[in-house]
Structure 1
Amino acid sequence: MYLSAATLALAFASGASAHAHMYGVWVNGVDQGDGRNAYIRSPPNNSPVKDLASPDLACNVNGGKAVGSFVKAAAGDKLTFEWYHDSRSDDIIAESHHGPIITYIAQYTETNGASSIWTKIAEDGYDASTKKWAVDKLITNKGKQDFVLPATLAAGRYIIRQEIIAHHESDTAFNANPARGAQFYPSCVQFEVTGAGSAVPDQDFNFNTGYTYADPGIVFNIYAPFTSYSIPGPAVWSGAGSSPATKTPTPATTTSAPVIAGPTLIPGESETPTATSAPPAAVTTSASAAPVVTTPATTAAPTTLVTVTGSATKPRPTGKGKGKCGGGRRRRRAARAAAAKKHL
């Protein structure tokens, strides 16, 4: 029996609108209340992310908007993330949206999470023995997905990200046909973790580079016969990790002003440099500066030599002097002239 075009169109329209997003968190079976925009960085609607290059792939559309509260839990606690479709405890997500549910953790950040900060701590994919997907079990459990916080996790603030990947259109990659492709439903929750653990998550996974269209867990045809499914991303973290002393915690924010180099200040001093902070004007630091030397003696005027050195090479006076030698010669010339005149 063939379905009419109208029936197929109605089926696709129904499936397209049966999306999901997160309502809240339970800690050891205790409801933490409505977390939307309280401790969950909630997106504005339940639409999926499909572009693997989009920064929204990490924590969804509002992933970079930190919220005011944190869920408090201890390392080793059982956590339950609760999903819904339009209202709490409804049909959760369309039954056609078969796929895995994967959980990651990162040290707390106020950024959108689109960087190499994530570590996988739980996953649930396809069970070949029951032929059930994680999404099938999520619907049966009224939107609740359980996992255990690693018992060795170091105390501190974290972001825990859980995603549903729906494969009802993933037989074709999004980059080949934007009308199709896997649908990602990520949600990020702010946590404050206590305990005596010392392990710091250290896989440093980046969704924009770690998830690719060549990944068989991203492009997957659920309508063709299959017996297994490879969940995308790294292996589940062992809980060993790096110690806090060897791995620098992720800063709470990366929007601080750049550090501008300046003079080193001593406590109590003003930031305004004093006049003595500049080098003396007489100090020459450039290789091209003129050397400080006296003018060579060969270019000095004769009078300078007399004054400076007292040399015996004192120049002979010029002009009409009255020295002894000059006066005697004049008298002899006058006498010879007088004798010649007398002889005549």
Structure 2
Amino acid sequence: MQLPLHTLLSLLAVGPTLVTAHATLISLSIAGQDQGKGADKYIRAPATNDPIRDLTSPNIICNTNGGKPAPSFVKAAAGDKLTMRWWHYNPDDPNDYPLDPSHKGALLTYVAPYTTGDGQGGIWTKIAEDGFEGGKWATEKLIANNGNVEVTLPSALAAGRYLVRQEIVALHQADFAGNDPAHPGRGAELYPGCAQVEVTGDGGKKPDQGFDFNKGYKYDDKGLHFNIYVPFDSYTPPGPRPWKG
């Protein structure tokens, strides 16, 4: 049987990097101030850097350690710029890297009122998204910026404790839907990371989109089932459009 050209291209593109190209959220800077390594301090660090593919699992929210609160918070004012850093394994290793270039896709950022639980339910609001613009994927910008992704907390955000969730939506295997029984192991790869942030400088407005990942992310969503190996005009990330307050 002869495979379609786009399938051959996708297999060639991802074949060498399936095991080695993963990433996790490792640290934050707030208004230019490095908050230090965050794993199990203010970031709910997962057990591995493997992707999440099961959209029905609570792990798509804050990853495999999402239900275990970190012991502390970092502080940021409403309107502050957050720099969230991603890495494959070890940023101190000169031979390591943030993310394999084959993992093209989007970067999305959400907030929810702080919970000691795993983040399930309609509590999330998207505050930023970056997909494909100017001929570049958001993940290409992440790599060029040494693993760093800048987002701005909405100035309208009410003071309080929040989970700030950022995810990489890697589309290198998303030419097939993630629940396609004929192509097991395919589909979009999600790399979520959750940081615990205490927001000051009360903007007065509570995020109110009420987004639920387990209900809102669908296998046939065009933001999650998308072929990057054929010509396309545009890409719309999954989830709601960002809240501005």
- TM normalised by structure 1 equals 0.65
Cα deviation per residue 1:159-196 (whole Å; 9 max; x = unaligned)? 00000000000010111133111000000000111013
Contact 1:19 1:94 in 2 (8 A): yes
The aligned counterpart of 2:87 is 84
Q: Which one of the candidate residues 166, 172, 184 is aligned to 1:168?
A: 172
Q: CA RMSD, aligned part only?
A: 1.6
The 3 A distance-change label for structure 1 pair 33 and 63 is same
Give how far 1:152 is off. Answer: 1.1
Cα deviation per residue 1:107-128 (whole Å; 9 max; x = unaligned)? 000110121100000010001x
Specify which structure has the higher proportion of strand: 2
Q: Tell me if 1:182 matches 2:182.
A: no
The aligned counterpart of 1:61 is 64
The aligned counterpart of 2:218 is 212
In structure 2, give the amino acid aligned to 1:195: G
Give how far 1:91 is off. Answer: 1.4
Contact 2:13 2:102 in 1 (8 A): no
Unaligned runs of 5+ in 2: 1-7
The 3 A distance-change label for structure 1 pair 10 and 171 is closer
Give how far 1:235 is off. Answer: 1.0
Q: Tell me if 1:133 matches 2:128.
A: no
Q: What SS is found at the alignment partner of 1:138?
A: helix
Q: Distance in 2 between matches of 1:178 and 1:14?
A: 17
Q: Which one of the candidate residues 129, 145, 148 is aligned to 1:144?
A: 148
What does 1:90-105 align with in structure 2 at a 5 Å threshold?
A: 90-105=96-111
In structure 2, give the amino acid aligned to 1:51: D
Q: Identity over aligned residues, as a percent? A: 52
Cα deviation per residue 1:212-233 (whole Å; 9 max; x = unaligned)? 0221001000001112101110
Q: What SS is found at the alignment partner of 1:139?
A: helix
Aligned length: 231
Q: Distance in 2 between matches of 1:68 and 1:53?
A: 27
Which piece of structure 1 moves more, 101-110 or 15-24? 15-24
Q: Distance in 2 between matches of 1:45 and 1:15?
A: 14
The aligned counterpart of 1:121 is 127
Unaligned runs of 5+ in 1: 240-344
Contact 1:172 1:181 in 2 (8 A): yes
Contact 1:32 1:71 in 2 (8 A): yes
Contact 2:23 2:88 in 1 (8 A): yes
Cα deviation per residue 1:76-134 (whole Å; 9 max; x = unaligned)? 1010000100111631111010000000000000110121100000010001x3x1000
The aligned counterpart of 2:162 is 158
Give how far 1:156 is off. Answer: 0.6
Contact 1:15 1:94 in 2 (8 A): no
Q: Distance in 1 between matches of 2:136 and 2:79?
A: 27
In structure 1, give the amino acid aligned to 2:202: A
Q: Distance in 2 between matches of 1:91 and 1:71?
A: 26
- TM normalised by structure 2 equals 0.91
Give how far 1:9 is off. Answer: 8.0
Contact 2:44 2:193 in 1 (8 A): yes
Q: Distance in 1 between matches of 2:189 and 2:13?
A: 19
Larger Cα Rg: Structure 1 or Structure 2?
Answer: 1
Give how far 1:13 is off. Answer: 4.0
The aligned counterpart of 1:200 is 206
In structure 2, give the amino acid aligned to 1:152: A
